[in-house]
Amino acid sequence: MVKVLFFARLRQQLGREETILADFSGSLGDLRETLCEQHPDWRPHLQREDIRMALNHALANTGDRVRAGDEVAFFPPVTGG
């Protein structure tokens, strides 16, 4: 099971703050493609060039391996401070 979180503008665009992939194996890029196939209306939002990805609370890239129990997140550029 992989937990996927969405934040800020992206959370509002997708209309939800998390989704669960019960049985996933592959790279972070594969995971994003899986989500886009399940929810075609998410694709323009998830594939925006400025969307960041995190794996277990650290910034990550499409090539990073996702394992069962991992926490993945997608979010726009940060704007704190």
Partner 1 sequence: MEAVDRIAVCETPLDVAGEYAALQGSSGDGACALFVGNVRDFNAGRDVCGLALEHYPGMTEKSLQGIISDARSRWPLGRVTIVHRVGPMQINDEIVFVGVTSPHRQAAFAACQYIMDRLKTEATFWKHETISDQSGNTLQRWIEARASDAAEMEKWSAG
| Residue 78 in contact with partner 1, rule: CB under 8 A | yes
Which CB, 33 or 71, lies closer to partner 1?
71
**69 scored as a contact of partner 1 (CB under 8 A):** no
Rounded to whole angstroms, how far apart are CA atoms 59 and 76?
A: 12
From 1, 3, 8, 65, residue interacting with partner 1 (rule: CB under 8 A): 8
Q: What is the b/e burial string over 42-77, where b = at least 16 CB atoms within 10 angstroms of the residue's CB?
A: beebbeeeebebbbeeeebeeebebeeebebbbbbe
User: Where do contacts with partner 1 occur on this chain (CB under 8 A)?
Assistant: 5, 7-9, 12, 50, 54, 57-59, 73, 75-81
